[in-house]
A = this chain, B = another copy of it.
Amino acid sequence: MPVSIEDVAKLAKVSISTVSRVINRRELVNEQTRARVESAIQELGYRPNAFARGLMLRRSEIVALVLPDLHGEFYLEIIRGANLKARALGYNLVVSSFNGSDDGGSLLYALEQRALLDGLAVMISDAGAHIGPALAASRLPFVVLDDEIEGPAHDSVIINQACGAATLMRHLLTNCGVRRVIFVGGPATNTDTQARLTSCREVLKAAGLALPSSSVYHLDYLYETAYVLASKHLPEWRGRDACIVAANDEMAAGIVAAANSLGVEIPNDIAVVGFDDTRIARMTRPPLTTVRVPTSAMGASAIEILCQRIAEPQRPPTRISLDPELVVRESCGGNRSEKR
C-alpha cells in the first residue's frame, strides 16, 4: 500500500504539482495550502518514491565509499570521517567492502550497473586489483584514496607515505642512534608497503646506510605471523643500533610481544616502530612509536572533493596530499615525550 503523491494531492484537495512544490520549494506555496498539504503528508505518512525522484533529478544524493578487505581497525576512522562529511554536505554515505578473494571489479561492476550512486570514493591498496580500468570506464564521478590509478586524470586523496616514513627514519637516525633497519612489511604488492619501504631506503641511503633485501620481509599485516617471524629472528636481529620497522602497528605489536617473551628488551636491545597509530600502538609494553595517518581527514577530504566534482563535473582534477604525523612513544629510545 504505497502512498503516492497523488493520494496526498487528493486528500489535500490540490494538484500533484502543488504537493511537489511543498516538498521541494516550499517558499513558492501559499502558507495555508502548504499547511494543508503538510498535514496530508503527515496523515498519510507519505514519502516520495526515491526511484521516481531519481529518475527526474538524475541523482540519488548517495555516495559510496568502497574499501578493500578490512584488516584491523584502520578503516573505521576513514569511514567515520567520510560519514560526517557526507552528512554535512547533504549526502548519504554507503560503505562497501570487497573481499580479497574477488578482484574488486565485481563489486564495482554491480555498483555501477545499478548506478544508484552519485559518486564513488574507492580505496585501492593492492596494486594487483584490476579496479582502475573498470572505474575509468564508468561515467561515475569518483575519487581514489591513497593511490593513483592508471588512465585519465582524476581526483585523489593521497597519504604522503614518503613524508611519513622519512620523518620516522630521520627521527630514528638522529635521535635514537639507529644504524641498521629490519623492515617487516605487508604483501609485496601492497602499495602502502611499497611506498614506506622505498622511502625508508632513500633516507638510509642518504645517510650512507643500506637496507639489503635480506633485511626485508613481506608478511600479511597480522600480529601472529609477525610474532612468529620475530620469535625466530630476534636473536640475530637484536642490537642497540638496530630497529625493526613494521609496516603497521599490529605487526609491530606482535614483534614486541615476541621480544617480551624472549626477554629481549625494547628499546634497549632493539627498537621497534609501527605505522598507523591504531589503538594497538598504545597497548604494547612499551607503547609504540608510530606514524599517524590522518585517516579521518582522509575520509572527509575524499567525500568533500567527490561532492565538489558531482556539483561541478568539469572542474580540473584535484589532488589532496595529507602528511602523516610522527608519534614518538617509548619503543624506539631517544626522545621519550609523546607528541600531542
Q: How many residues of A contact B (CB 8 A)?
A: 56
Quick one: which of A256-302 are within 8 Å of B by CB? 257, 260-261, 279-280, 282-283, 285
Task: Kindly report how many copies of this chain are found in the complex they form together.
Answer: 2
Residues on the B chain within 8 Å of A95, using CB = 94-97
- A330 an interface residue at 8 Å Cβ cutoff? no
Residues on the B chain within 8 Å of A159, using CB = none
Quick one: which of A206-235 are within 8 Å of B by CB? 223-224
- A116 an interface residue at 8 Å Cβ cutoff? yes
Residues on the B chain within 8 Å of A133, using CB = none
- A28 an interface residue at 8 Å Cβ cutoff? no
Interface contact A55-B51, CB-CB below 8 Å? yes
- A325 an interface residue at 8 Å Cβ cutoff? no
Q: Which of B52, B60, B80, B279 contacts A70 (CB 8 A)?
A: B80
Q: Mark A40-58, 1 if CB is under 8 A from B, else 0.
A: 0000010111111011001
Interface contact B92-A114, CB-CB below 8 Å? yes
Residues on the B chain within 8 Å of A243, using CB = none
Q: Output the least CB separation between A84 and chain B (Å).
A: 7
- A139 an interface residue at 8 Å Cβ cutoff? yes
Interface contact A223-B72, CB-CB below 8 Å? no
- A76 an interface residue at 8 Å Cβ cutoff? yes
Q: Which of B48, B79, B96, B107 contacts A97 (CB 8 A)?
A: B79
Residues on the B chain within 8 Å of A282, using CB = 223-224
Residues on the B chain within 8 Å of A24, using CB = none
A95 to B66, CA, bound (A): 10
Given contact pairs A49-B55, A55-B55, A116-B116, enumerate 10 new A-B contacts (beta carbons under 8 Å). Answer: A51-B52, A62-B114, A80-B99, A83-B99, A92-B111, A94-B94, A95-B97, A224-B282, A254-B283, A260-B285
Interface on A for B, CB 8 Å cutoff? Answer: 1-2, 45, 47-52, 54-55, 58, 60-62, 64, 69-70, 72-73, 76, 79-80, 83-84, 92-99, 107, 110-116, 137, 139, 223-224, 250, 253-254, 257, 260-261, 279-280, 282-283, 285
Q: Show 17 A/B contacts (Cβ-Cβ < 8 Å), sorted by A.
A: A2-B139, A45-B137, A48-B113, A49-B115, A51-B51, A51-B55, A51-B116, A54-B54, A62-B114, A73-B76, A92-B110, A223-B279, A253-B283, A254-B283, A257-B283, A260-B285, A280-B283
